[in-house]
């Protein structure tokens, strides 16, 4: 079996040592080298030709984002960010995902030996996934595109459209690659669009930053969902990173309900939890959208949505970073439409017109 060749880039010798031990015990991942800063990493990439890179953000001589921007422009390859789960870390990590990083994991802590096995399982799974992910060269103007240009794109697509119904709900599930896919989706929807509810696999520390990025990308108004919050057209409600989001009936209206139950499919929030609530409480008034993501969360309950009368769209394999969740939904027969990411908003507009 051909092993995945991995290069670890981190200025902490302890972190490099911990990660090397984790990966060398995996059986199918070989740490071919480590680097304490991007300058060393640049030379080792040329010499060792790794399949995947793990990358810290704060390093000497060149920060991780600058290095990542250059790497994705000149020598695109799968990168998994090693992030701090703080508000500042969230902003930097979301920018790294916008630059082309495949995914991220939390920085391991030296004092969490009791949970190291779960951490090892997570990071090994993400490196395996990254080795199979689709990586594209960074467009020179992509990373610096302003919120204004995104809003203008939205306006050009259809701000003059008016919908015959306002009680539709668009339910979106996403994971790996989803932070950028969600932004791409909503930038092409006008402020008159039906409400959108989103379950994206992210930690709590990232929720507010992600909601801000989504809000800036769309004519619609995005926020982290609150318990009991009424669901209104033109608004986007994002599950907080430590609770499940459900849609419930409030008389003739819909409302958000947050649930602090255990993880489902190892995730909290879980797409299955959101989609089941949509099947039970929204039915044929719903449009389901499954975007790029690793695993199978949401696939089973997307089929329940279809059985309840919802129309479902899954992102196609070619445009997905990882065709896990959408692929599983497709295999179960949950999808009515399989579309590239840039065609999904157009299909939604057609379905609600």
- Convert the pLDDT of each residue in 78-136 to its tens digit: 999 998 877 788 999 999 999 999 999 988 776 555 577 888 999 999 999 999 998 98
| Euclidean distance between CA atoms 208 and 200, whole angstroms | 12
Residue 70 has pLDDT above 50, yes or no: yes
The answer to whether residue 205 is domain-embedded is yes
| Euclidean distance between CA atoms 262 and 245, whole angstroms | 13
Task: Tell me, yes or no, whether 127 and 252 share the same domain.
Answer: no
Task: Tell me, yes or no, whether 101 and 161 share the same domain.
Answer: no
* 183, HSE (Cβ side, Cα atoms, 13 Å): 22
The answer to whether residue 142 is domain-embedded is no
The answer to whether residue 198 is domain-embedded is yes
Task: Tell me, yes or no, whether 122 and 189 share the same domain.
Answer: no
Task: For residue 33, say if its preceding peptide bond is cis, omega within 30 degrees of 0.
Answer: no
Tokens at 120, concatenated: 């090892």
Which domain, by its residues, includes 299? 147-352
The answer to whether residue 347 is domain-embedded is yes
Task: Tell me, yes or no, whether 103 and 192 share the same domain.
Answer: no
Q: Tell me: the pLDDT tens digits for 290-313?
A: 999 999 999 999 999 999 999 999
Q: Tell me: the pLDDT tens digits for 332-348?
A: 999 999 999 999 999 99
Cα of first residue to Cα of last residue in the chain, in angstroms, is: 52
- Among 292, 65, 102, smallest CA distance to 184 is for 292
Residue 232 DSSP class: -
Tell me how many domains the chain contains.
2
The answer to whether residue 137 is domain-embedded is no
CATH of the domain at 47: 3.40.50.2300
Q: Which residues are catalytic?
A: 175, 201, 297
How are beta strands 103-106 and 52-56 bridged, if at all?
Answer: unpaired
Q: Tell me: the pLDDT tens digits for 201-217?
A: 999 999 999 999 999 99
Other Cβ atoms less than 10 A from the Cβ of 163: the count is: 15
Residues counted in the chain: 353
Task: Tell me, yes or no, whether 121 and 217 share the same domain.
Answer: no
| Euclidean distance between CA atoms 292 and 322, whole angstroms | 6
Q: Nearest 5°: phi and psi at 156?
A: -65, -30
| Euclidean distance between CA atoms 182 and 179, whole angstroms | 5
- Among 5, 125, 135, 167, smallest CA distance to 71 is for 135
Task: Tell me, yes or no, whether 212 and 306 share the same domain.
Answer: yes
| Euclidean distance between CA atoms 271 and 311, whole angstroms | 16
Residue 65 has pLDDT above 50, yes or no: yes
Average pLDDT on 63-79 reads: 93
Q: Order of strands across the sheet with 286-290? A: 221-224, 235-238, 195-200, 169-174, 286-290, 311-315, 337-339
Average pLDDT of the chain to the nearest whole number: 89
């Amino acid at each position: 079996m051909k092993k995945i060749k991995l290069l670890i880039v981190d200025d902490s010798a302890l972190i490099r040592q911990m990660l090397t031990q984790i990966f060398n015990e995996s059986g199918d991942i070989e740490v071919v080298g480590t680097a304490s800063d991007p300058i060393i990493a640049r030379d080792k990439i040329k010499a060792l030709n790794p399949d995947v890179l793990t990358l810290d953000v704060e390093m000497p001589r060149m920060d991780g984002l600058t290095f990542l921007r250059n790497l994705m422009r000149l020598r695109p390859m799968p990168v998994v960010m090693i992030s701090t789960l703080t508000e500042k870390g969230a902003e930097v990590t979301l920018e790294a995902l916008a630059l082309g990083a495949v995914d991220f994991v939390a920085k391991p802590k030296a004092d969490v030996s009791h949970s190291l096995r779960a951490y090892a399982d997570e990071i090994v799974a993400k490196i395996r996934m990254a080795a199979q992910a689709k990586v594209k060269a960074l467009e020179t103007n992509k990373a610096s595109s302003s919120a204004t240009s995104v809003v203008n794109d939205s306006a050009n697509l259809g701000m003059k459209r008016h919908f015959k119904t306002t009680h539709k709900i668009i339910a979106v599930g996403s994971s790996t690659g989803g932070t950028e896919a969600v932004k791409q989706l909503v930038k092409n929807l006008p402020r008159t669009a039906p409400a959108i509810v989103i379950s994206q696999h992210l930690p709590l520390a990232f929720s507010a930053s992600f909601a801000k990025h989504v809000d800036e990308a769309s004519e619609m108004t995005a926020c982290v969902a609150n318990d009991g919050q009424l669901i209104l057209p033109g608004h986007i409600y994002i599950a907080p990173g430590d609770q499940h989001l459900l849609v419930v009936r409030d008389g003739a209206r819909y409302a958000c309900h947050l649930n602090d139950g255990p993880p489902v499919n190892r995730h909290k929030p879980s797409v299955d939890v959101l989609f089941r609530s949509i099947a039970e409480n929204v039915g044929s008034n719903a449009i389901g959208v499954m975007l790029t993501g690793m695993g199978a969360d949401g696939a089973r309950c997307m089929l329940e949505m279809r059985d309840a009368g919802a129309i479902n769209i899954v992102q196609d394999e070619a445009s997905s970073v990882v065709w896990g969740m959408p692929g599983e939904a497709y295999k179960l027969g949950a999808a009515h439409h399989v579309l590239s990411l840039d065609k999904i908003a157009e299909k939604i507009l057609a379905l609600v017109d």
